């Protein structure tokens, strides 16, 4: 009996241990294995600390794990965070420090980005955008207040100047509408009416002359119509004649060009031939010159000794008788 109770007790203890281990494993896998790590960097992480909620499009998807200075760049803060697996963080998502309400604690807000952007893989860096701090906002408000004060002073000065100018304008208008000026304007208007009344007949006459001139111009244009048609026909015939002559003339020009090219080739061949036979020509001219000199010498010799054509030897000179 005691052995059975011991076995039953051991079985119960083992079953409880197995159940506890199973529950722990399932809980760990659910709450730890379903989170995905990411990082982002900010210059100012005021209020952000471990445990700060992470919002994606206003929905809580995780929490901040750690906040510490970047080891490679101490001027920025490295923020490590875990979000639920399946959160569609993408390359165009932007992280910044925000808050749900005016009095609530800071949160790390991530924008939804774009559906066409590439999804971020676990461990990658989320783009960030700096949030204006309260100190910087106060400085900007103070600067704006100083600028507004200066602007108000300048506007007040401009208004005073504008008021003075308006008063001067009213004074000028009062002077312009005085009794003397009104009488003067009335006289000018009366003279204008008189001038218009006197000029009306002349204007009518000028209008009638312009109409008559227009009628004459229309008649002239009507008479010029056939002449213009004849000119157009003449130009058309000239164009046709030029078109008819153009092709034969072009053929003649082509033939002349061909002849010139052939002539140029012959001249080039003659130049080449003369260049090649220049030495022979020089020799020929030299032989002709020597032959000419010999002929000249022969002629002179025949003139001096014509008997040499008959006798071979020259006769002895006759001696002077003693």
Q: Which residue has the higher pLDDT, 48 or 169?
A: 48
Report pLDDT digits (tens) over 291-301: 888 888 777 77
Residue 9 lies in a domain: yes
The helices-and-strands tally (H runs, E runs) of the chain is 4, 7
User: Which of 97, 131, 165 is the endpoint of a domain?
Assistant: 131
Which residues are 69's β-sheet partners?
Answer: 77
CB 120 within 8 A of CB 126: yes
DSSP string, 188-216: HHHHHHHHHHHHHHHHHHHHHHHHHHHHH
Q: Are residues 27 and 50 in the same domain?
A: no
pLDDT at 79 over 50: yes
Q: Are residues 28 and 102 in the same domain?
A: no
Over residues 138-157, mean pLDDT: 73
According to the model, what pLDDT value does residue 104 have?
79
pLDDT at 67 over 70: yes
According to the model, what pLDDT value does residue 314 have?
57
Query: Measured between alpha carbons, how far is 37 from 31 in angstroms, rounded to an integer?
Result: 13
Q: For the chain, how far is it from start to end, CA to CA, in angstroms?
A: 210
Residue 15 lies in a domain: yes
pLDDT at 32 over 60: no
According to the model, what pLDDT value does residue 316 have?
61
Residue 105 lies in a domain: yes
Over residues 249-268, mean pLDDT: 83
Q: Are residues 70 and 58 in the same domain?
A: yes
According to the model, what pLDDT value does residue 28 have?
46
Q: How confident is the model at residue 151 (pLDDT cuts 50, 70, 90)?
A: confident
Over residues 280-308, mean pLDDT: 76
Residue 94 lies in a domain: yes
Q: Residue 76: which CATH number?
A: 2.40.30
Say how many residues make up the chain: 322
Q: Are residues 71 and 95 in the same domain?
A: yes
For 96, the domain range is 37-131
According to the model, what pLDDT value does residue 108 have?
93
CB 62 within 8 A of CB 83: yes
Percent of the chain with pLDDT over 90: 22
pLDDT at 137 over 70: no
According to the model, what pLDDT value does residue 5 have?
63
Q: Are residues 96 and 15 in the same domain?
A: no
Residue 267 lies in a domain: no
pLDDT at 29 over 50: no
Number of domains in the chain: 2
pTM over cut 0.85: no
According to the model, what pLDDT value does residue 66 have?
94
**Cβ atoms within 10 Å, residue 78:** 18
Report pLDDT digits (tens) over 158-196: 777 777 777 787 777 777 667 777 777 777 877 777 877
Report pLDDT digits (tens) over 184-238: 777 787 777 787 777 778 777 887 888 888 888 787 777 777 776 776 777 677 6
**H or E element that contains 262:** helix 179-276
Average pLDDT in the chain: 78
């Amino acid at each position: 009996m005691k052995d059975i109770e011991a076995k039953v007790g051991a079985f119960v203890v083992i079953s409880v241990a197995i159940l506890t281990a199973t529950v722990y494993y399932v809980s760990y896998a659910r709450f730890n294995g379903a989170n995905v790590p990411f990082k982002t960097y900010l210059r100012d992480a005021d209020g952000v600390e471990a445990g700060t909620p992470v919002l994606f499009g206003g929905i809580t998807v995780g929490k901040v794990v750690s906040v510490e200075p970047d080891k490679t760049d101490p001027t920025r803060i490295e923020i490590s965070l875990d979000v639920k697996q399946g959160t569609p963080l993408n390359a165009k998502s932007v992280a910044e420090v925000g808050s749900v309400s005016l009095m609530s604690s800071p949160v790390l807000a991530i924008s939804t980005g774009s559906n066409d952007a590439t999804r971020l893989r676990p461990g990658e860096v989320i783009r960030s955008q700096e949030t204006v701090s309260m100190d910087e906002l106060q400085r900007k408000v103070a600067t704006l207040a100083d600028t507004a004060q200066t602007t108000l002073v300048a506007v007040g000065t401009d208004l005073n100047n504008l008021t003075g100018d308006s008063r001067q304008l009213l004074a000028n208008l009062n002077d312009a509408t005085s009794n003397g000026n009104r009488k003067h304007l009335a006289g000018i208007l009366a003279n204008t009416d008189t001038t218009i009344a006197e000029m009306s007949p002349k204007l009518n006459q000028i209008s009638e002359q312009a109409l008559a001139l227009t009628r004459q111009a229309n008649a002239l244009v009507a008479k010029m119509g056939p002449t213009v048609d004849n000119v157009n026909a003449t130009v058309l015939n000239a164009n046709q004649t030029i078109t008819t002559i153009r092709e034969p003339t072009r053929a003649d020009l082509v033939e002349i060009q061909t002849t010139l090219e052939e002539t140029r080739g012959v001249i080039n061949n003659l130049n080449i031939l003369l260049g090649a036979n220049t030495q022979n020509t020089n020799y020929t001219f030299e032989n002709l010159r020597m032959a000419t000199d010999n002929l000249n010498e022969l002629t002179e010799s025949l003139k001096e000794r014509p008997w040499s054509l008959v006798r071979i030897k020259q006769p002895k000179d006759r001696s002077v008788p003693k």
